[in-house]
Amino acid sequence: MLIGVPKEIKNHEYRVGLTPSSVRELVHHGHKVLVESKAGAGIGFDDATYQAAGAGIAASAAEVFGQAEMIVKVKEPQPVECKMLRKGQLLYTYLHLAPDPEQTEGLLKSGCTAIAYETVTSARGGLPLLAPMSEVAGRMSVQVGAHYLEKAQGGAGILLGGVPGVRAANVVVIGGGISGTHAVRMALGMEAVVTVIDKNLDRLRELDEVFGSSLNTIYSTVDAIEQYVVEADLVIGAVLVPGAAAPKLVTRNMIKKMRPGSVVVDIAIDQGGCFETSHATTHADPVYVVDGITHYCVANMPGAVARTSTIALNNATLPFAVALANKGARKALADDPHLLNGLNIHDGQVTYKAVADALKHKYVPAQQALGM
């Protein structure tokens, strides 16, 4: 199979779909890889390194899209990229379609087969291709939250961990999944006062066992969220409904009641965000203020630490990429029900129910769409 890797074009996105190491693995399996020139240059993977791994170098994205049977990316295709996709072509990347009707329409119109990293599952019920970026985003959320609490950045002028004689910041993490857990770990490491809120009691018990009495675990209700958000210096939204739009758990009224200069970081923004006041921002213009509260809602947070993120992501995505290349999309999907869960679009049909429901499209089960 001829596999194409275009340069990412989303604002300040330096990650790349395949590392040179991944290219070498695919070439080892007998496949050809075509990488757009300078696709990985921003994180130290130059064209010569890709060539040494066995890749061909293309002068433009149009050349990559025009020749490749499978496109491997990181972020969702932008409108100009959707127009370059064609019927029968395989797209393997993050999609986050539920809050993005424009991209969905573009993919449907193209006739491509689109597999979303974020809905591929594991035998343990996890989301293995989302997990690495959730880990990065969770850890980053505390880092950026601490930065924007600084007075020079418009914050309240609070040091996350305090100092002897001065209270530490109150950090509230909504959601105890992978990103929330990593946010908790970082916030505790910086000696903040940390509360995690989740609706899964079993998960709260697990977090209590891991972190002990240093972590305050709270069962999620509307009342609990309001009580803890209003008193927080930093709130991190880390909720996820796989493939679906994130629920709006923090209302505008709650935001109004927070102390001016407090910060909210919305990790769930790729799925529409879990704050009523959230809208997607970019690394070039990452924050905005609502009712005196700084909002950080960058839709590709891990792109800020692009080299770490790319390598971590490839560790998870490569086995599926090899299977897709070795077997072809139809057989690979038929052989692996967890990869099949990643199929969101096929030949002009929406094959993931949460996306169909969110965007009011007709839902066609993946097996039916593939003629299984």
Strand pairing of 287-290 and 70-72?
unpaired
Those residues of the chain that have pLDDT short of 70 are none
Strands (E), the chain: 2-5, 32-36, 56-58, 70-72, 90-93, 113-116, 170-174, 193-198, 215-219, 234-237, 263-266, 287-290, 293-296, 343-346, 349-350
**Tokens standing for residue 59:** 């002068």
Query: Tell me, what's the pLDDT at 12?
Result: 87
pLDDT of residue 143: 97
96 is catalytic: yes
- Quote the pLDDT of residue 217: 98
Task: Check 96, 182, 295, 346 and give the catalytic one.
Answer: 96
What pLDDT, on a 0 to 100 scale, did the predictor assign at position 11? 82
Task: Write the single-letter amino acid at 316.
Answer: A
Catalytic: 346? Answer: no
DSSP 304: G
Which pair of structure tokens corresponds to residue 337?
Answer: 């029900």
Catalytic residue among 31, 270, 346, 361: 270
Tokens of 365: 């089960």
Q: Using CB atoms within 10 A of its CB, is residue 231 exposed (0-12), middle (13-18) or buried (19+)?
A: middle
Given its phi and psi angles, is residue 212 left (phi above 0), alpha (psi -120 to 50 degrees) or beta?
left
pLDDT confidence of residue 270: 87
Distances (CA, A) of 38 to 14, 43, 150, 301, 309: 10, 10, 36, 21, 18
Query: Tens digit of pLDDT for each residue in 252-294?
Result: 999 999 999 999 999 999 889 999 999 999 999 999 999 999 9
What is residue 210's three-state secondary structure?
Answer: helix
pLDDT digits (tens, 9 = 90+) for 33-60: 999 999 999 999 999 999 999 999 999 9
